[in-house]
Structure 1
Amino acid sequence: MGRRPQPQIRERLLDACADHALAHGLPDRLEPLATATGASARMLIYHFGTRDNLLRAVLGHARQRQLDSFGGLLRVRPDEPYPDTLSRAWTSITGPEGQPYLRVFGQLRESAEQRLWPDFRRTATTDWLGPLEDGLRSIGRPELATLVLAVIRGLLMDLDATGDTARTGRAFGDFVAFLASLGTSDDPSESVRLSPRSRRTMSHDS
């Protein structure tokens, strides 16, 4: 009778593999993950079946960590206006805490890696709509979740392409100032009208 897989060992291996992927990127071979876990490549295959199954499990594990971390950053705080919460979340997401996640999941935009998680781009979008809707509801604007998410994702792509932290940070600051300037009118059309003060804020030369 063969050995039965042991869930606690599998979880320990998965934790170590996710740590390695977040620190160094997703490898294309098993050897770096075997070294990181202190196990053999054969042991990894025993617990995960195939190399691709292991890599998918590593991505899923890292993604859950990201959801837990970033989800907490986007959560409403009773003593803080939600635009301030978004500003603080941006700082963390683009800083040392968030960069490992941006790097490893940025790989999934490359055609060679899409086979590991074909539906990732859709999932990576819809995962954040709920937390943002909940947060924006605190300022009476849950319908702006798609807009806020589009701005965040667009600026993250800009940051990834250019590395210009200062410029993208200023742009997000201008956008948050726009959100803070919004009233809580029941007319949805009011949510896209900029006050003169907001237009000056968004067009100023920082």
Structure 2
Amino acid sequence: MGRHPQPEIKQRLLDACTDYALAHGLPDRLGPLATATGASSRMLIYHFDTRDNLLREILGQARQRQLDAFTDLLRVRADEPYTATLSRAWSGMAGPLGRPYLRMFGRLHDTAGEPLWPGFRKGATTDWLAPLEEGLRTLGRPELATVVLAVIRGLLMDLDATGDADRTDRAFADFLTTIT
């Protein structure tokens, strides 16, 4: 008889693989993931069927972590103006909290990532519109959600390409002065 599925082991492996991928990027081979989990490549295939399935699950879990963290950064806080919330959110997204996600998901924004995660680019855009609209509604400007998102995404791409945090931070601060 074959082994029965063990979801707790699969989840532990997925957590370790996701931690590794956020710290180092998605590897081309299973070896680094096996080392990171303390399991064998064969054990990873047993639990995830294929390398691509494992990579998709890693991306899905990392995306959920990003959604949870960034949605919390963007949520309305009764004790502060939303521009202050956006400023703090930018610091989180562009800083140490957000950089692993920028590295991981940056390559999925172009068409090369489409086979691994079809529809990612659309979802990665529309996921942020609702929390931004809600927050900008407190300023009487919910219609600016798309503009704010475009600025955030553009500056994150700039930061990823250049590494110039000082310049992109200044640009975002300058942008915030235009929406109040």
Q: Which residue of 2 aligns with 1:87?
A: 87
Once the two structures are overlaid, the 10-residue window that deviates more, 73-82 or 156-165, is 156-165
Which residue number corresponds to residue 196 of structure 1?
A: none
Give the corresponding residue for 1:156. 156
Give the length in aligned residue pairs.
Answer: 180
Q: How far does residue 22 in structure 1 lie from its aligned partner after superposition? A: 0.3
**Unpaired segments ≥5 residues, structure 2:** none
Query: 1:136 matched to which residue of 2?
Result: 136
Aligned-residue RMSD, C-alpha: 1.1
TM score, norm. by length of structure 1: 0.84
CA distance in 2, matches of 1:140, 1:146: 15
Task: Say which structure, 1 or 2, has more relative contact order (CA 8 Å, 6+ apart).
Answer: 2
| Structure 1 residues not aligned, in runs of 5+ | 181-206
Give the corresponding residue for 2:119.
Answer: 119
TM-score for both structures, normalised by structure 2: 0.96
Equivalent AA in structure 1 for residue 101 of structure 2: Y
Residue pairs, 1:57-68, within 5 angstroms: 57-68=57-68
In the aligned structure 1, how far is the partner of 2:135 from the partner of 2:10?
36
**For residue 184 of structure 1, what is the aligned residue in structure 2?**
none
Give the C-alpha shift of residue 114 in structure 1.
2.9
Question: Cα distance, 1:12 vs. partner?
Answer: 0.5
Structure 1 distance, partners of 2:109, 2:122, is 11
User: Which of 28-37 and 104-113 deviates more?
Assistant: 104-113
Structure 2 distance, partners of 1:32, 1:109, is 24
What is the rounded CA distance, in whole Å, between the counterparts of 2:63 and 2:153 in structure 1?
A: 16
Q: Which runs of 4 or more aligned residues in structure 1 lie more than 2 Å from their structure 2 counterparts after TM superposition?
A: 109-114
Q: Deviation per CA, 1:90-122, whole angstroms, max 9, x where unpaired? A: 011111111111101112235544311121111
**AA partner of residue 64 (structure 2):** Q
Map of 2:106 onto structure 1 = 106
* Structure 2 CA distance for aligned equivalents of residues 159 and 44 of structure 1: 34
Q: What letter matches 2:149 in structure 1?
A: L
Letter in 2 for 1:65: R
Match of 1:191 in 2: none
1:46 alignment partner AA? Y
SS in 2 for 1:79: coil
